[in-house]
A and B are shown apart, each in its own frame.
Chain A
């Protein structure tokens, strides 16, 4: 896809954060033959002594990371989001269960990854990692916030999964605003009282455009970057259910189990409000340009605005 001017891909933010940790000898980076793609290569070039390349062998990588973590090191291990999934049981039994501090990054997540096609488009990663006790699950929207959140993980007390994206999107953050980000707290980017749009990842940008579309019609939307899928900011979700009375979620992920699923669980257990979930409708993707795919699958700004109208009509 063509890169918006001034935009950034969240995977670039991950690489930049690793680079910023290069003087911290507690940090070890692991990679599985995709360092050039996930951007861990930036760290490797600067500090090969603390980089372990494990070849195309994700299951082994997860347990090597766990072993290192058991000896006190802080691990950042990355591959494509889809390939972390082949090692899901290793993450479950080897990392999450003993609560070893490994920070796993799955890049190229979502259908936004584009022309590689459906085999590379993980649309279930947020859902499966969210089910694991002890795991924190993040999905930053741009390079600036991805860098800030990755740096915050260095002193985070549990293992985590962070999904990053391949392609650039317009930035939602400046260095200053990203410094305010807190793991587990949604970040309100725009306030309105008619509907709340909770978005993550590359769809945050679409959500902001949707708010503009709605505003032009006299509908005022709150827009929140829900960069942390777990632990979900349930206090904020409940508050918005009360103040706005209608909720839309937007994610480059299956509508089952990810941000939409998490918000649905929260609403069902607390303050009820109509919910519309924008995302991949229980199907696989295909090859195509990112924007073409977003349009085909009903995940563009206009689709989010239409979902907001539906949610409001259900009040």
Chain B
């Protein structure tokens, strides 16, 4: 059994997020491939979730009554691996298996390979639906466990997302919490040029979701939003967090190139300096 989160204060969460940022960049640089941008935009929320909220047990990753965290944008796996290391599911050595043959840290998060991972991602648009299934199962069990799902904003272009958005409201799934990482960049370019999504929060509200918008890099806001979502029990809740892709590394920030690219050695040295 485990209690919620790790009992950490905001300052401690901020320090943890910085450690995670360093490991994200190290993982990607170490293998020369991967997705740093969306990991760095999501990591403050990931830290808030694992450090402040999720009921999970690193000594028993199969614990049936754990909260579920479903990373739908599975390419942001370095972010997930970094926080699972902080939470005690992965050793530091595990992190360096990222994208390597036989490694627990597969290119995209995979529940069959990595302890602490609840969903095999990699194909966008599927995580919300999976989270709905986890939440319904919790209700059938009479459990208080909660399903938390994180989507990318580019991922909202997948039609299946909106099937799930409707279903979650129709079935009044109050133990489902969604986070949208609104970093404004997708694989090829800025979302504004690829497929405009306009006011994302307004769209979720129009479907009947409870919605809160925050600065996804302000840890106090992150914690506050998690607590807010927890109190919504009569239907699904969505946190739209406005973030900067590549946050924390100057040359990656808001740069579409670092959606899925590794820094070279000079850039890596600069990144480590900036993340001291």
Contacts and interface: CB of A to CB of B under 8 A. Distances in A.
Interface in B108-130: 110-112, 118-120, 122-123, 125-130
Given A60-B167, A93-B126, A68 B137 contact: yes
A68 B112 contact: no
B246 interface: no
Interface string B64-93: 100000100000000000000000000000
Contacts of A73: 137, 140
A98 interface: yes
Given A52-B136, A98-B110, 13 more contacts: A59-B126, A60-B160, A60-B163, A60-B164, A63-B126, A63-B129, A64-B132, A64-B136, A64-B164, A67-B135, A94-B120, A94-B126, A99-B112
Nearest to A54: B167
B133 A68 contact: yes
Interface string B150-185: 000000000110011011001100000000000000
B131 interface: yes
A314 interface: no
A98 B112 contact: yes
Interface residues of A, number: 30
- The number of chain B residues touching the other chain, given as a range, is 35 or more
Contacts of B130: 63-64, 66-67, 70, 94
Given A59-B163, A60-B164, A94-B126, A67 B131 contact: yes
A55 interface: yes
Q: Report the 3 A-B pairs with minimum CB-CB distance, sorted nearest first.
A: A67-B133, A63-B129, A71-B137
A69 B133 contact: yes
Contacts of A50: 140
A64 B140 contact: no
A298 B193 CA distance: 53
17 contacts: A50-B140, A54-B167, A55-B167, A55-B170, A59-B160, A63-B127, A64-B130, A64-B132, A64-B167, A66-B130, A67-B135, A67-B147, A70-B133, A71-B138, A94-B123, A94-B130, A98-B110
Interface of A: 25, 28, 49-50, 52, 54-55, 57, 59-73, 89-90, 93-94, 97-99
Contacts of B137: 67-68, 70-73
Contacts of B163: 54-55, 57, 59-60
A61 B136 CA distance: 12
B54 interface: no
A59 B161 CA distance: 9
A65 B133 contact: yes
Nearest to B113: A98
Contacts of A59: 125-126, 129, 159-160, 163
Nearest to B70: A67
